[in-house]
Amino acid sequence: MCLFAKVFYFMIKLFILGSFSSFFSLPNEELMCSNDVSITSQGNYYIHSCFFNSITSNLSGGVIRIDSSNVRFVNEESLYSQCRTTTNYGGAIHITISTGGSAFSKVCSFDCSTSGGGNDASAGLYQFIYSSISNDDLNHISYASMSSTSCQTPSGWVSRKAIFGLFSGKQTIQYTNSSKNYLYYGTGFVSSSSNSLNVSYITVSSNTQYSHECTNIYSVSNIQRSNFISNTRTYLNSPYLFKITSPSTISHTIIFSNTNSKSFLTTSTLTISYCYADNFQSSGSVSFQNTQTSLTNTIQIIHYQTGPCQIPQYSTITHSYFPSNRLPFILLSFLLL
């Protein structure tokens, strides 16, 4: 390979990893995408530009499973279509990392699901992603779209719940869509056991669920500049859009045309500020500040949908055992060109 080609290839790799440069090290080994990605050893892993189509597994995580310590995992620009697990957790992805972290960016899910079945509370959870990370590490999703998962069958509803769930870690959800999903509950998201959940520029729209809440938050959270629009329910035994159990704020957010008799259920403290909602009914300690019941020029729909998902043109999996400090390895790689 000529020197120019080596330099060009090296710079492309730096550009791809740029958005997570403080989190992830430069990879050194590239493999083709696999229909079964199982990671049980420490290291830094990077998956990008993959198209996972019609994959079924009898293990948690229809495509990707991580169960290890000292793992940093990044997945960018990948499409998961009709990926399934016949067990209970993570239709496409199941992650348990005790030290390290995970980040997803520009990933799309279309009709991914767990087996569901029965009414057990632990059955059929997290149709796209289940991600459990140690407390001080990154647990991140951005520029994602999740759609067309259904738990409606000719014989009725099966117990598929929650489109995705984040557990522990420093949680961020940004520029993310959940739309046109039909679930037992949880067409928004589930967040639990974190002291830091930051949500911004997300849209939860045009979903249908049978029962319970759309969005369940068991973390200290800040939700801003987002939209919860036209979500419907077919059975109102627990008539709330949000269930929040830790101190939280929702600001500059639009909440309307949802068929819930009440919008907010909290067992902690919740502050709603600079929001538009057509239903401010709530249960628990909720404080309302500068809220409106009609759209104006100052409160508008800020983020309605991400860009369309496309099938990537190439597929790679990258694995590295480099530590988190990138600079020495960037310099070394350049010298070895």
pLDDT at 310: 59
pLDDT at 155: 60
Cβ proximity of 277 and 256 under 8 Å: yes
d(CA 107, CA 52): 11
d(CA 8, CA 1): 11
Per-residue pLDDT reduced to its tens digit, 102-118: 999 999 999 998 875 55
pLDDT at 333: 32
What is the pLDDT averaged over residues 273-277?
A: 90
What percentage of the chain reaches a pLDDT higher than 90?
39
| Whether pLDDT at 324 is above 80 | no
pLDDT at 150: 80
β-pairing, 152-153 with 156-157? antiparallel
What is the pLDDT averaged over residues 3-12?
A: 48
SS3 278: coil
Q: Count other Cβ atoms within 10 Å, centred on residue 253.
A: 23
Cβ proximity of 107 and 70 under 8 Å: no
pLDDT at 29: 41
Per-residue pLDDT reduced to its tens digit, 41-100: 888 888 888 999 999 999 889 999 999 999 999 998 899 999 999 887 899 999 999 999
pLDDT at 7: 45
d(CA 275, CA 258): 15
Q: Count other Cβ atoms within 10 Å, centred on residue 102.
A: 26
| Whether pLDDT at 280 is above 90 | no
First-last CA distance in the chain: 10
More confident residue, 194 or 96: 96
Q: Smallest Cα–Cα separation from 182: which of 230, 244, 111?
A: 111
| Whether pLDDT at 335 is above 80 | no
Q: What is the pTM of this model?
A: 0.83
Q: Mean pLDDT for the chain? A: 79
pLDDT at 28: 38
pLDDT at 123: 65
Dihedral angle of Cα 2, 318, 177, 310, to the nearest 10 degrees: 50
Q: Smallest Cα–Cα separation from 125: which of 65, 184, 172, 170?
A: 184
Token digits for 144? 């994602």
CA distances from 246 to 83, 136, 221, 222, 254 (A): 33, 18, 7, 11, 21
pLDDT at 245: 92
Transcribe 213-254 into DSSP letters: -SEEEES-EEEES-EEES-EES--SS-EEEEE-S-EEEES-E
Q: Count other Cβ atoms within 10 Å, centred on residue 317.
A: 20
Token digits for 164? 């995705």
Q: Using DSSP, how many helices (H) and how many strands (E) does the chain show? A: 2, 32
